[in-house]
């Protein structure tokens, strides 16, 4: 995620993923155990005792619907490591548990430092970043519980590994590491009433009423602006009154790709009406969060609505939550104590949408929904994406960009073209492959984002040139790129709608010059395991997600078998050493057998003499 794209996103995701970890291994609570709270068990899953052999792995998927209240996880394993001993064990043989929001973790490509968090008690938080994962040594016992105030409603994945690193996927003749076993209980609780949420379903959520309010005309065909439609969401004015330090929570859903989201208050009033307070000196703090309950300490965006509206550019599609907190109602003003007891307002949320086929600032850019084309004779979810229209020929896995690029420009500004594609449910174990090829030096930048439109400051992955890209992300892998070619993978891509944007630089001239083709596909193993291994497929423990992985030969390793672990010369020396070690073992055995045979012959001759 780009810097400043989401306020407090680090702390939000930190607690979110951690909570996921906690819930996966916490004890399940039934409705009766919660002591009368209006909850019910959405799902309960018991993972029986399972053995993980050396260099093997297991994945577990947990679905968290919007009405979930908490997730509990309890884990028991045969691993017996304390903090000090875990720090001394090499990662290649260390039992580890990793978790990731939205897709499967892949610690073999992670360059982050190993966090040691072995404890028999519940963990209080973890440090994670978006599009990254967090890994810990497998504890002997762990119980955790996470609430919908801590993690977003989405899909969470856990992975248990018996050793990580490049050698995990390498084929081995002799395996000396130990196996370990584990068992887990996972339970997800939900609220029976949609307007009540929180850990105990005791927080009231006011659903905003939304309606389409018509079009907002642009500046005409000369500038290239297009008509925009507005979705207006409002609350009930009479009920939106609360006192100092009191928080109210609202919810609404964005159904379509949206250019901007504006949150504001109207008709701000103080109660009682004859109060001596000054409304301009009151803080009306707004905290917004995607997919989860916002708090003053845990949110995505924030602002003082009494000073200016809160504007969110390119918000994600899905459920949003807004908390309003009034502060400083009762304070001394001009030598007199304010008698303000409540503040009342009308909350207004504006969703600015572009017409079909348009996107970006002022809806001036082209937007294409790509059609999924399944590959023949392939495993599930293997597919490629093509524009659904008459401007391109859909008999190949790639398409020409010329007829599709946005041709709007003003003042030499760069133009954007957006491509939308759907990664289906259960395909999170696949890899999204993006390629651009041209007969001349390309002048494109690529930005990708899940759930919303990308921009220069709001993206999940990006590519500018060979030296500027998301190369520091563990799930972005760049291959064989040059001035005329771009080739990268997004590993274990998240489910849902992905938006891939092409930024064409300095498009004051003819942007159709040069033949540039683009290819977007959902593949199993990246780079076909570099032709040094076989691509395998499996299902996670729930049976809902298919994932692929490479089984490399004896000389290579890594997630794509691209790392040469043993060179040809090294392999030769290993063979010589193996033969020598076998010979060293055979010679003593031969000598012992020879001695035993001589002893039998001697005894036979002795018997004949007597």
How many distinct structural domains can be found in the chain? Answer: 4
- Above 60 in pLDDT, residue 392? no
Highest mean pLDDT among 277-281, 385-389, 540-544, 548-552: 548-552
Domain CATH number, residue 341: 2.60.120.380
Half-sphere exposure of 223 (CA within 13 A, CB side): 10
Highest mean pLDDT among 226-230, 408-412, 510-514, 562-566: 562-566
Q: Is residue 133 part of a domain?
A: yes
- Mean pLDDT along residues 105-127: 51
- 424 vs 8 pLDDT, higher one: 424
Rounded Cα gap, residues 322 and 510, in angstroms: 45
* Residue range(s) defining the domain that contains residue 272: 228-353
Q: Is residue 556 part of a domain?
A: no
Rounded Cα gap, residues 306 and 265, in angstroms: 7
Rounded Cα gap, residues 563 and 533, in angstroms: 11
Which residue, among 237, 210, 242, has the nearest Cα to 319 in the 3D structure? 210
17 shares a domain with 149: yes
- Mean pLDDT along residues 535-554: 92
Q: Is residue 204 part of a domain?
A: no
- Above 60 in pLDDT, residue 110? no
- Mean pLDDT along residues 282-296: 90
SS3 labels along 219-232: CCCCCCCCCEEEEE
The DSSP string of 111-138 is -SPPPP---SS--------TT--EEEEP
Supply the pLDDT for residue 449: 96
- 18 vs 304 pLDDT, higher one: 304
- Above 90 in pLDDT, residue 501? yes
Q: Is residue 482 part of a domain?
A: yes
127 shares a domain with 160: yes
Collapsing DSSP states into helix, strand and coil, what is residue 475?
A: coil
Last residue within a domain, chosen from 152, 170, 195: 195
69 shares a domain with 125: yes
313 shares a domain with 411: no
- Above 90 in pLDDT, residue 188? yes
Supply the pLDDT for residue 34: 41
326 shares a domain with 246: yes
- Above 90 in pLDDT, residue 79? yes
Q: Are 533 and 552 in contact (CB under 8 A)?
A: yes
- Strands (DSSP E) contained in 272-341 are 283-290, 301-304, 310-313, 318-327, 332-333, 336-337
Q: Is residue 453 part of a domain?
A: yes
396 shares a domain with 299: no
Q: Is residue 109 part of a domain?
A: yes
Rounded Cα gap, residues 8 and 304, in angstroms: 16
380 shares a domain with 341: no
Rounded Cα gap, residues 543 and 323, in angstroms: 37
61 shares a domain with 172: yes
pLDDT tens digits, one per residue of 213-267: 765 544 433 334 456 789 999 987 666 888 888 889 999 999 988 999 999 998 8
How far from the centroid of its chain's Cα atoms is residue 68's Cα? 19
Rounded Cα gap, residues 188 and 68, in angstroms: 7
Highest mean pLDDT among 164-178, 219-233, 565-579: 164-178
Rounded Cα gap, residues 184 and 61, in angstroms: 13
Last residue within a domain, chosen from 353, 371, 392: 353
Q: Is residue 209 part of a domain?
A: no
586 shares a domain with 510: no
- Above 70 in pLDDT, residue 569? no
Q: Are 526 and 491 in contact (CB under 8 A)?
A: yes
Q: Are 286 and 304 in contact (CB under 8 A)?
A: yes
189 shares a domain with 97: yes
Rounded Cα gap, residues 328 and 325, in angstroms: 10
Which class for 374: exposed (0-12), middle (13-18), buried (19 or more C-beta within 10 A)?
A: exposed
Which residue, among 403, 401, 400, 397, has the nearest Cα to 371 in the 3D structure? 397
Half-sphere exposure of 185 (CA within 13 A, CB side): 13
- Mean pLDDT along residues 586-591: 68
> Where residue 586 falls among pLDDT bands split at 50, 70, 90?
low
Sorted by sequence, the CB contacts under 8 Å of residue 349 that are 6+ apart come out as 208, 210, 232, 233, 234, 252, 261, 262, 263, 322
Supply the pLDDT for residue 125: 41
Q: Is residue 602 part of a domain?
A: yes
- Above 90 in pLDDT, residue 497? yes
503 shares a domain with 374: yes
DSSP state at residue 456: S
Last residue within a domain, chosen from 353, 373, 403: 353
- Above 90 in pLDDT, residue 472? no
- Above 90 in pLDDT, residue 495? yes
> Where residue 149 falls among pLDDT bands split at 50, 70, 90?
confident
Rounded Cα gap, residues 513 and 414, in angstroms: 16
Which residue, among 432, 415, 271, 404, has the nearest Cα to 339 in the 3D structure? 271
- 68 vs 576 pLDDT, higher one: 68
381 shares a domain with 343: no
Bridge partners (DSSP) of residue 312 are 261
Rounded Cα gap, residues 402 and 417, in angstroms: 11
Q: How many CB atoms lie within 10 A of CB 300?
A: 24
pLDDT tens digits, one per residue of 124-148: 444 333 446 788 899 899 888 888 8
The DSSP string of 149-173 is TTS-SSEEEEEEEES-SGGGGS--S
Supply the pLDDT for residue 99: 84
């Amino acid at each position: 995620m780009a810097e400043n794209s989401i306020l407090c996103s680090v702390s939000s995701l930190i607690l979110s993923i951690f909570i996921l970890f906690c819930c996966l291994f916490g004890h399940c609570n039934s409705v009766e155990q919660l002591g009368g709270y209006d909850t019910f068990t959405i799902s309960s899953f018991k993972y029986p005792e399972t053995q993980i052999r050396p260099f093997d792995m297991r994945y577990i998927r947990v679905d968290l619907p919007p009405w979930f209240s908490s997730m509990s996880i309890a884990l028991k394993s045969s691993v017996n490591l304390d903090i000090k001993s875990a720090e001394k064990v090499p990662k290649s043989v260390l039992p580890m548990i990793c978790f990731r929001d939205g897709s499967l973790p892949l610690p073999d490509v992670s360059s982050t430092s190993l966090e040691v968090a072995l404890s028999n008690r519940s963990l209080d938080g973890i440090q994670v970043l978006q599009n990254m994962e967090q890994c810990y040594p497998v504890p002997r016992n762990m119980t955790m519980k996470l609430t919908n105030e801590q993690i977003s409603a989405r899909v969470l994945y856990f992975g248990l590994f018996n050793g990580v690193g490049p050698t995990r996927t390498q084929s081995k003749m002799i395996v000396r590491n130990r196996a370990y076993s584990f068992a887990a209980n996972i339970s997800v609780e939900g609220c029976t009433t949609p307007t009540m949420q929180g850990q105990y379903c005791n927080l009231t959520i006011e659903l905003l009423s939304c309606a389409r309010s018509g079009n907002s005309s642009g500046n005409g065909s000369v500038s290239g602006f297009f008509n925009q439609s507005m979705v207006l969401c409002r609350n009930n004015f009479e009920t939106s009154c609360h006192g100092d330090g009191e928080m109210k929570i609202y919810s609404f859903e964005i159904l379509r790709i949206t250019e901007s989201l504006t949150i504001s208050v109207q008709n701000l009033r103080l109660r009682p009406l004859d109060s001596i307070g000054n409304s301009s000196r009151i803080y009306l703090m707004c905290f917004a969060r995607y997919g989860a309950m916002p708090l003053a300490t845990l949110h995505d965006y924030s602002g003082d609505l009494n000073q200016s509206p809160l504007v969110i550019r390119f918000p994600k599609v899905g459920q949003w939550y807004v908390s309003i907190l009034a502060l400083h109602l009762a304070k001394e003003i001009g030598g007199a104590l304010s008698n303000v007891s409540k503040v009342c307002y009308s909350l207004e949320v504006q969703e600015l949408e572009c017409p079909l086929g348009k996107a970006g600032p002022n809806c001036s850019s082209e937007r294409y929904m790509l059609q999924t084309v399944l590959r023949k004779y392939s495993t599930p979810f293997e597919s490629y994406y093509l524009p659904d229209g008459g401007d391109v020929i859909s008999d190949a896995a790639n398409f020409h960009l010329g007829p599709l690029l946005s041709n709007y420009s003003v003042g030499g500004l760069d133009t954007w073209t957006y491509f939308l594609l759907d990664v289906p449910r259960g395909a999170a174990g696949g890899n999204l492959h993006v390629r651009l090829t041209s007969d001349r030096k390309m002048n494109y930048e690529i930005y990708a984002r899940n759930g919303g439109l990308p921009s220069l400051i709001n993206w999940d992955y990006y590519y500018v040139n060979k030296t500027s890209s998301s190369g520091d992300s563990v799930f972005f892998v760049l291959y064989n790129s040059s001035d005329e070619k771009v080739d990268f993978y997004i590993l274990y891509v998240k489910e849902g709608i992905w938006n891939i944007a092409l930024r064409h630089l300095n498009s004051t001239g003819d942007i159709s010059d040069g033949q540039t083709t683009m290819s977007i596909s959902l593949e199993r193993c990246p780079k076909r395991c570099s032709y040094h291994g076989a691509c395998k497929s499996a299902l996670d423990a729930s049976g809902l997600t298919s994932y692929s992985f490479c089984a490399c030969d004896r000389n290579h390793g890594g997630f794509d078998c691209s790392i040469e672990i043993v060179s040809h010369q090294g392999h030769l020396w290993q063979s010589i050493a193996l033969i020598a070690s076998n010979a060293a073992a055979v010679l003593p055995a031969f000598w012992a057998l020879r001695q035993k045979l001589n002893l039998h012959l001697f005894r036979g001759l002795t018997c004949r003499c007597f």
